[in-house]
Structure formats: structure tokens, C-alpha cells
Amino acid sequence: MARPTLREAVRAGTGAGLALALSGLLLLGVHAQVADGSPHGLLLIAPLGASAFLLFAVPNSPLAQPWSAITGNTVSALIAITAVLSGLPQLAAIGLAITGAILAMAMLRAMHPPGAAVALATVLSEQMVRDLGYSFALAPVLLDTSLLVVLAIAWNRLTGRRYPFRQPGEANAHGTRDRPPEARLGLSPEALASILERYRLSANIGTEDFARLLAEAETEAARLHVGGLTCGEIMSKDLTTVTPETSLRDVAELFRRHRFKTLPVTGPQEQLLGVITQNDLIQRARNEAILHQASFARALSSLLLPGKDAPLRAADIMSPPAGTVASSDSIGILVKSLADGGVQAIPVVDQGKLTGIITRSDLLAALAHMPLWRPA
């Protein structure tokens, strides 16, 4: 197992510690009391430490997802309470609770290892369970776990981690249900799930994350396969650029005349400042139409009319490039960026100077002229 980076360990440890402390403060702040006047039904339970480890240290694990954590802990508590109230000897109740908890979590697809610890802790807290009955599963178990999950969602998103993890079928760059272009020739989610099940790894990694790993491996393989061809060999070198002061009317005219979809915006010494796409122009016209309650055609015309007061310039709608490459880079580095639908062209920058641009058409032409098979 690879050692986590110090930054990741600090991120996970700090988040888990803060979440447990805050959960405890929130529970104490409720000031709710059970019938005998003791507050033990609203305190943190020990297995929550194990849940916190999963939710904050390995948030991509299927074992750490909200459904698994909340359902796994709660159903385990319910089964353990039943074992306690059945009157069985404690050791027998422990065996029954653990067995039942694992079976229930498996049936509900809510595998969460701390659930087994919840079952054990519940049986060992026999007197408290007899005092509270099945409400013990609601508070502290369900309440504690739910608070922890909410805090884990907030912390992971705040620190750049995806939690809950990705689900199959998330919208692509175009907002449709089609799979991303690079994934359409790959294995289906069902096939990936079958592989994980075959190797008994479904509890370790989600289908969507497995797909992402495979896609990354395939992209790396593509980079190695086309490693002999560089960006400098396929880029367009006779560039049409604009400056930040270029009017939108002139920008639109360049789009019309050259049928470009992307125009680089450059400064002194051909320094790349940003890019303008046709979509940027359309989006600005759409915003103007909404703002002035006008038709799209009228809004677009008003942007491009030469007599417009304080005409908009390229600087008003340009955006930073999604990425750049060097002329010496392998074209394999372009495959993922130009295939996902979000980028039309990638500027080529050498020593801070714009030297070329590569479009999807350039990449497709290069790939079309490559041999389909090369001997090792």
C-alpha cells in the first residue's frame, strides 16, 4: 500500500477530528434528556471514530458512502438491540448481533465495517440499551452518523475531494446522458461492475472510479503509442490572432472569414493572454438579450454595430485557455483534452510565446495518417 502524502494525512485527520468534536458539541447543545434524566442517549459512540476514518481518509471507497454509513450503522444497531432484548447470554447475543449485522448490510448493499463495531458496542452497552430500547438506534446511532456524514460532505468538498463519489451516468460536458467520447468504445458500467464482482473488489472501488482509472491508463497507453509525433509537427503555424483591444465586430468577422472556432488573444511579443471561442460571443449576446429583454438577433447586432457607444472588445469576453502544450510535447497529451467535448483548440506556447495552435481537426488528421499497427 502506498503511503499517503503528508498533506492528505493532515487533511483527513484534521477533518475527522473537527467533525467528531463539532458533532459532540451539537449533541450537547440539543439539551434533550431521556426519561431518567441522563444524557447518555445523545452522546458520541465509539464506533463513530472508525466511521470518521472511512469518511475522511478514504472518501472514494464504497464503504464510506452516505448510504453505507448511515444504513450500515443503523441496521446493525437495530439487530444488536433485538439480540439484547431477546434475553440471550451476552456472548450469544454478541455472535447473533455481528452475524445479523453483516448479513443485513450485505442484503441492503450498505457494507460499512464500523457497523459491526456498532453491533458489538450495542450489546456491550446492555443497560443503556434496555433503558432506551429501539430508540438507541435513532439516538445516538442514526443521529451521530448522520451528523458525521453531513460534516464529511462539507469538509471533503471544501478541501477538494469528491464526496459522495461519482455515480455512473453523470452528465457529460454537453449536459446529455451520452457517455464521454473516449468512453464509448470502452466497457459498459455493467461490465465494469461484473469485473469488480468477479475479483471481489466491489467494496473497495466504485464502478465510476474504476472506469476513470481505466480511461487514464488507456490515455497513457495512447500517449506512448503516438510518442514519436510531436505537437510542433501537426500545429498550425500561420496564426490569426487578436489583441485585447480588438472590437467584437472584427472578432466576428474573423470567425466568419476563416471559419475558426477559437481565436487566441495575444499581447506584446506574442504573449498568450487568453482565447475567444464562438460560444463566448454567443453567450455574451444571450446575456445582453436577457438583460435588455430583446431578441437574440437584436442583441447580437447591437454588439457588432460599428456605431455602438463604448463598443465591447476582445478583452471583455476572452477567457484563460483550458490548457497549453509545448511544441516538443507528444500529441498523445492532446487526446483527452480534445476528445471530451469541452475544448475546441489548444494553444502551443514555447518560452512564453504563442507559436501555434492545434484543433481537433489537426489531431484527427494526424491520427488518421498513423499506421494502425506498428511492430514492437
Q: How far is Cα 159 from Cα 142, in angstroms, rounded to an integer?
A: 26
240, three cell numbers: 490569426
What pLDDT, in 10s, does the model give residues 232-276? 999 999 999 999 999 888 998 899 899 889 999 999 889 999 999
Distance from first CA to last CA of the chain, Å, rounded? 32
Q: What total of structural domains would you count in the chain? A: 3
Task: Give the whole-angstrom CA distance, residue 345 versus residue 260.
Answer: 10
* Cell representation of residue 351: 518560452
CB atoms within 10 A of CB 48: 27
Q: Is the pLDDT of residue 373 over 60?
A: no
Q: Taking residues 120-140, what's their average pLDDT? A: 93
Q: Which domain holds residue 99?
A: 6-158
Distance separating alpha carbons of residues 114 and 65, to the nearest angstrom: 13
13-36 pLDDT, tens digit each? 999 999 999 998 888 876 554 444
What are the residues facing 275 on neighbouring strands? Answer: 264, 319
Assess whether 256 and 143 both reside in one domain.
Answer: no
Is 6 exposed, middle or buried, given 0-12, 13-18 or 19+ CB atoms closer than 10 A?
Answer: exposed
Backbone angles phi, psi at 189, to 5 degrees: -55, -35
Burial 130-158 (b: 16+ CB within 10 A, else e): ebbeeebbebbbbbbbbbbbebbbebbee
Claim: this prediction has a pTM higher than 0.75:
no
**In CATH, what number is assigned to the domain containing residue 364?**
3.10.580.10
Residues sharing a CB contact under 8 Å with residue 25, sequence separation 6 or more, in sequence order = none
| Residue 169 maps to a domain | no
Grid cell at residue 232? 510542433
- Residues 244 and 201 occupy one common structural domain: no
Q: 53 pLDDT exceeds 80?
A: yes
Q: For 280, list phi and psi in degrees, rounded to 5.
A: -60, -40
Query: In this structure, are 270 and 126 located in the same domain?
Result: no
CA geometry: angle 257, 260, 262, nearest 5 deg: 135
